[in-house]
Structure 1
Amino acid sequence: MKEYSVVPNKDVTGWFVKIEDVAPTDLYDERDTAVEKATELAENNKPSRLQVMDKNHNVENEWNFK
């Protein structure tokens, strides 16, 4: 199962889309845009899981795609 995540940068001025918790793939200005892109990636690479983190890096939302 592939793991995807959306996490804020250290200043919370942008949002990273990460695959398998390695180096970020993309940086987005808007959280919603980052979530949309990560959702698209997760849906296209099933089975997968997407976690969206808040500014404190706690899991805010999680989805599983089968």
Structure 2
Amino acid sequence: MKEYSVAPNKDVTGWIVKIEDIAPTDEYDERDTAVEKAKEMAQENKPSRLLILDQNHEVEEEIKY
């Protein structure tokens, strides 16, 4: 199962989409945009899990596809 995550960058000025918590794939200015892109990636690569983290890097939401 692939794991995707959306987390803020270190300055919380952007949101990063990561695959398998390795290297960032993309960075977005808006949290909602990053979440939508991560959802698309996770849905296209089932089975997968998406973790959405808040500015404290705590899991806010977990979605499984």
**TM-score using structure 1 length:** 0.97
Unaligned runs of at least 5 residues, structure 1: none
Which amino acid counterpart does residue 36 of structure 1 have in structure 2? Answer: E
Deviations 1:9-63 (A, max 9, x none): 0110100000000010000000000000000000000000000000010000110
TM-score scaled by length of structure 2: 0.99
The residue identity in structure 2 corresponding to 1:53 is L
Aligned to 2:45: 45
Compute the RMSD of aligned alpha carbons.
0.3
What is the match of residue 36 of structure 1?
36
Q: Extract unaligned runs of 5+ from structure 2.
A: none
Give the Cα–Cα distance (whole angstroms) in 1 for the partners of residues 7 and 19 of structure 2: 11
Runs of at least 4 residues off by over 4 Å: none
Alignment coverage as a number of residue pairs: 65
Structure-2 separation of matches of 1:5 and 1:35: 9
Q: Could you tell me which residue of structure 1 aligns to residue 8 of structure 2?
A: 8
Percentage of pairs with the same residue = 74
